[in-house]
Structure 1
Amino acid sequence: MRNNHSFTLLRLSYKFSAFVFFLLVVVSAVQAQDYQTTVAKNGEGIYSLLKRHGLSPSEHLNTFIELNKGKLGSNNSLFAGQTYTLPQQESASQSPASGGAIYPIFGKAYEQVNPIDNSLQGAVYYLLSGHGGPDPGAVGRYGNHTLCEDEYAYDVTLRLARRLIEHGALVYMITRDENDGIRDGSFLEPDKDETCYPELSIPRNHLKRLQQRKDAVNKLSIKHKGSFQRLVIIHVDSRSKGENIDVFFYHDQRSKTGKKLANNLQQTFKKKYDMHQPNRGYHGTVSDRNLYVLKYSYPPAVFIELGNINHFRDQQRFIQSNNRQALANWLAEGLQTDFKNNK
């Protein structure tokens, strides 16, 4: 029985559901290394301390108590000025030797994620790449190759997720693919096996698909109530072959925070274009739009269009992996600016 239990845990560690990974971390919490620590504030209890660090009390309370035996007062109270160990908040198996963690969803070449800094500690991001499952989204042609929006938007989103984690954020991939990982090829093979967090089949019906994603985000948002939260939705546009467009941003018209988020991202892109292509100019816009997920999701949100999948120059933005990584890096930098401006 004990051997079967160990085999089950080992097998689960390679599943891609964030929830399953979290369970594995909790089971092995007392053995993991390189935990982050924090100092309790005057009058602070475990619930408020965990929330301050973007951790759900309902999920992390018991692990926190186990990690801090001997440091707690009566009824598990905290002592102001005492240093406490925080439960691991990443949904991945830990890699104690490097101080990083293993995230199989990024694929073998990129699954090892090592921390750069804690500049986004306490931030929670929900990353939603467009379409997926039965819907490939916009489709373009490049020679004999078919370019599907869902594959390229997903690859950029994965790269963004990895970058945010490197800076200490807690990240949820809402659209997920267990097989793809980050891919460095130019022409990403389309498939239909994407799921919605945690492991839900994506429906064909457009409205049901949007409702499913909105519900996934909102359930997680409730769990992380009180934390800094943002929803980032990434798409690729489809226009005539002659229309070259820059990365542009939508927000819900009622959300001042969403507008500020979009502006922070847009200004980051403008700065990057001024730096790397000073004579080109950047014309990406920020505007409001009445989109379902923007309108009904709880966290402040931004909807990003990466370019025109039918325009030759825009296609270079997608098919070259270093350009996809640059998009992810610039988005991450804009999100860091947004975090700093709203702390």
Structure 2
Amino acid sequence: MMIKRLLLLLITSTFLQVQAQEATNITFSTPKNGEGLHAFFKRNGLHSDELRAQFLKLNQSNLGKNNSLLMGVKYLIPETSTILHEPLYGKERAHFELESNTLKGAVFHLVSGHGGPDPGALGKYGNKTLSEDEYAYDITLRLAKKLQENGATVHMIIEDKNDGIRDHSYLESDKDETCMGQAIPLKQIDRLQQRTDAVNKLYLQFKGSYQRCVVIHVDSRSRGKEIDVFFYHAPKSKSGKAAAQSILQVFDKKYKEHQPSRGYSGIVNSRNLYLLRKTYPTAVFVELGNIRNYRDQQRFIIQNNRQALANWMYEGLLNDFNTQKQKKLN
């Protein structure tokens, strides 16, 4: 009988030690006087529906009627993720979770084409006019968010305070975009100089870090000309060529996976464009397709396609970052 009691004590002691180890990451919080559930959630960083559901499940035996909080009770708080905030993404997407630190230390300067007084290339889709600057901006925002979700520092050089990421097909054109808060000039050379100055100023603040400038445009050709996403880098820029090829390789791979019979004809070329030539960080210029071609327009007007473009560019930039990091280690 004594042996059984000792065994029981040993088992119980071991179980408590395991429980304590498992509970080391659990935190507790006691409601403040007069604090409701919503305020309690906010104070403890439970911003998402998923985290709030976890809280209710963990504490269901210690909650009052209609999940009300009881004074003096220590409630278990589920582990919270790092919540980031960027109003440019729009009200519904302004708060989002840090998914990883994969790109920690990387800095990206994203420049969507045209904006302000210049809508860029225009295409007709039914009775609607598609503006280059709106679709380039939406895809650039999506890329920015994806990069930021994975630990990168991101600078949106062109901003529109009230657009956000939009999911509908037709993106209405406006002229209120700015270059980091400054009015965008009408004259092209002034516009390009303004963007270049903004990128270069930021570059100097992060000198020594992995930095990439990504310039995103939509092309305009004859309606019958269907083109794939293609890329430019500055002449003699080995790092620019490598970054562009890294993104192109992802596009080639994705088309082989999703549309194996279609093929992919995107290319990487050097071109003596102002932003490629004048910006300090390694730069890649992306042309997303022909805004006047019906088939290419599907790449822009369908929001899932816009997100796919952003995701694939993100993956290519991630590969470039990892390659450069590996070279430094060697």
- Structure 1, unmatched stretches of 5+, are 1-30, 34-95
In the alignment, what sits opposite 1:176? Answer: 159
- SS for the counterpart of 1:281 is coil
In the alignment, what sits opposite 2:54? Answer: none
2:171 maps to 1:188: yes
1:304 maps to which of 261, 286, 289: 286
In the alignment, what sits opposite 2:258? Answer: 276
Question: 1:99 deviation in Å?
Answer: 1.8
1:154 maps to which of 137, 142, 147: 137
In the alignment, what sits opposite 2:24? Answer: none
Q: Which amino acid aligns with 1:101?
A: L
2:119 maps to 1:136: yes
CA distance in structure 2 between the aligned counterparts of 1:307 and 1:193, rounded to whole angstroms: 24
In the alignment, what sits opposite 2:108? Answer: 125
Question: 1:145 deviation in Å?
Answer: 0.3
How many corresponding residue pairs?
250
List per-residue Cα deviations over 1:12-44 (Å, max 9, x = no partner). xxxxxxxxxxxxxxxxxxx999xxxxxxxxxxx
Tell me, yes or no, if the aligned pair for 2:230 and 2:248 is still in contact at 8 Å: yes
Alignment of 1:322-337 (within 5 A): 322-337=304-319
2:217 maps to 1:235: yes
- SS for the counterpart of 1:330 is helix
Q: Which amino acid aligns with 2:281?
A: P
List per-residue Cα deviations over 1:167-188 (Å, max 9, x = no partner). 1000000000001000001000
How has the CA–CA distance of structure 1 residues 124 and 32 changed in structure 2, closer, same or farther, with 3 Å as cutoff? farther
In the alignment, what sits opposite 2:191? Answer: 209
CA distance in structure 1 between the aligned counterparts of 2:282 and 2:305, rounded to whole angstroms: 27
- SS for the counterpart of 1:245 is coil
TM-score (norm 1): 0.71
How has the CA–CA distance of structure 1 residues 169 and 32 changed in structure 2, closer, same or farther, with 3 Å as cutoff? farther
Q: Which amino acid aligns with 2:123?
A: G
CA distance in structure 2 between the aligned counterparts of 1:201 and 1:166, rounded to whole angstroms: 29
CA distance in structure 1 between the aligned counterparts of 2:119 and 2:136, rounded to whole angstroms: 10
2:232 maps to 1:266: no
In the alignment, what sits opposite 1:226? Answer: 208
1:247 maps to which of 229, 238, 244: 229
Supply the RMSD in Å over aligned alpha carbons.
1.5
Question: 1:98 deviation in Å?
Answer: 4.2
CA distance in structure 2 between the aligned counterparts of 1:312 and 1:243, rounded to whole angstroms: 9
Question: 1:137 deviation in Å?
Answer: 0.2
Task: Compare CA radii of gyration and give the structure with the larger one.
Answer: 2
Q: Which amino acid aligns with 1:317?
A: R
TM-score (norm 2): 0.74
- Structure 2, unmatched stretches of 5+, are 1-42, 46-78, 326-330
CA distance in structure 2 between the aligned counterparts of 1:323 and 1:109, rounded to whole angstroms: 20
Q: Which amino acid aligns with 1:187?
A: Y
- SS for the counterpart of 2:203 is helix
List per-residue Cα deviations over 1:296-332 (Å, max 9, x = no partner). 0000000000000000000000000000000000000
- SS for the counterpart of 2:130 is strand
In the alignment, what sits opposite 2:303? Answer: 321
CA distance in structure 2 between the aligned counterparts of 1:218 and 1:113, rounded to whole angstroms: 28
List per-residue Cα deviations over 1:249-304 (Å, max 9, x = no partner). 00001211000000001011000101111111000000000100100000000000
Q: Which amino acid aligns with 1:212?
A: Q
